Amino acid sequence: METIRGVLLDIDGVLHVSMQPIEGAAEALRWLEQQGYRYAFVTNTTTMARPTLAQRLQAIGLPVSAEQLITAPVATAAYLRHAYPGKRCWLLSKGDTAADFAGVELVEPGSSGAEHVDVVVIGGAEELLSYENMNRAFRLLMAGADLVAMHKNLYWRVSDGLRLDSGPFVSALELASDKQAVIIGKPERAFFAEAVRLLGTEPEETLMVGDDLVNDVQGARRAGLRALLVCTGKHGPDTPLLRECPPEERPEALLPSVAALPDYLAGQS
């Protein structure tokens, strides 16, 4: 087995839950730095631009820079610039992520949705996924627009429990419009390939650390990476998904939290 040289870490559920840092997370990141590992953060978080997210994480004591963040909005914007140059895009996403879409023509359709739009882009819209906006997106798709989604997550964990994500809404639009969305973020193979490229490592020497068995672990394994599951977020040792997971897509270990990562890596060397 290849020596691990690079580490990719999910953020929500791995480093913090509802912006409350996981005990030992900051120390684990500093250990990676001291030991010379190449590492970055890969996240389907879609409600904050990279500088905003970095500032929020720094404010709770996590040493994360904007340059280390590989986010679904950044990857989506890169895809739109390449696949739809000069096309009109309606971005339905909460927060300041529009700042990541420099070079993409963003438009706001009227209440009827009658204005021409080439692409409907769905991010982490939360309360913006109202009936009115979903119906507007549906009408635009029926009028010829394509559908692009930053991810298809079903739910995530916050301090008071699980919360519905945008994936079910994307599926509803696919079903109603009979169109297939292009999905950009985790667990897509291209997302992990880009992250590994930015790290400057090979997939087989890169470890993904996540709390989501499907988006983090299985996505990484399908892209040729190694993967660990931490039990502080969405999935843990009792999740039925783990029992159903094919052997080649299972995590190589389950850790109680990211705080145990240094000991795990030290045992691999």
Do 193 and 177 share a structural domain? no
In a domain, residue 53? The reply is: no
Give the end-to-end CA distance of the chain in Å, rounded to a whole number.
11
Beta-carbon contacts of residue 110 (< 8 Å; ≥ 6 apart): none
126 — pLDDT class (breaks 50, 70, 90): confident
Closest alpha carbon to 7 in 267, 261, 269, 263: 261
Do 179 and 239 share a structural domain? no
78-87, 103-112, 160-169, 231-240: least confidently modelled range: 103-112
pLDDT of residue 269: 67
In a domain, residue 65? The reply is: no
The CATH number for 253's domain is 3.40.50.1000
Do 94 and 174 share a structural domain? yes
**Domain residue limits at 193:** 6-44+186-268
The stretches of 147-253 forming alpha helices (DSSP H) are 167-177, 189-199, 219-222, 240-244
Do 218 and 236 share a structural domain? yes
Beta bridge partners of 183: 149
Q: Is the pLDDT of residue 113 over 70?
A: no
Task: Work out how many domains the chain is built from and give that number.
Answer: 2
Do 200 and 250 share a structural domain? yes
59 — pLDDT class (breaks 50, 70, 90): very high
pTM: 0.80
In a domain, residue 79? The reply is: no
In a domain, residue 78? The reply is: no
